[in-house]
Amino acid sequence: MKNKILFVFFFLLSSMSTFGQEIEGYYVDVGFEIQQYSTGFLLGVRSEVGLSPHNALDVRVGYNLLDHQNLGIHQSEKGDGLGLSLGYRHYFKSNNKGFFLGVRSDLWWNEVDWKDNIGEANEIEGTSKVTVLLPTAIGGYRYLLSDHWLITPTVAFGAGINVKTEGVGIREEGPVFLWGLNVAYRFF
């Protein structure tokens, strides 16, 4: 699964760089992103492709590290998973910097270890595999540090939707607020 996700990411990136060389406002940024939410972190390699002077496509391959603490269905819910994101950003300045608003949809394949009755004679545990769809509205401000280096703080609001669960239910659904930071290098 991990190899398929990486292949799709690099295929999209190379395809866009091949066909977009002549478009005004075209660029390719590649970098790292971290987003935090109430019970975890999303870490990823992210690419943004400028489609025009105001619009960009956003692609990410990521890793989700989660610990639902006392917010889960079970007493302990800890896990991780891989994911893929696709999004769109609209910048208010014509050079694709400054404030932007956009939408993003993530698909995460998480594996969560859960426990109940911890420390008691009847302690039980198990593992659930959950596929989560995470659509969000995202906003932020992009700073150009130099001709090539960029930094972008972001906030996002959305909802987790369990698409498929193997095993018992866990807390993956519901509203989510994320804050994050992107650091990227611009190639064009």
Distance (Å, whole) CA 16 – CA 187:
13
**Residues 34, 40, 42: CA angle, nearest 5 degrees:** 30
**Residues 103, 10, 138: CA angle, nearest 5 degrees:** 15
Range of the domain at 10: 2-186
Distance (Å, whole) CA 156 – CA 74:
27
Which tens digits make up the pLDDT trace of 52-105? Answer: 989 999 999 999 999 887 777 777 789 999 999 999 999 999 878 899 999 999
Please state the domain count of the chain. 1
Domain of 83: which CATH number? Answer: 2.40.160.20
- pLDDT at res. 11: 55
Residues found in the chain: 188
Distance (Å, whole) CA 141 – CA 132:
27
Average pLDDT over residues 99-115: 95
Output the pTM of the full model: 0.82
The backbone region for 92, taken as left when phi is positive above 0, alpha when psi lies in -120 to 50, beta otherwise, is: alpha
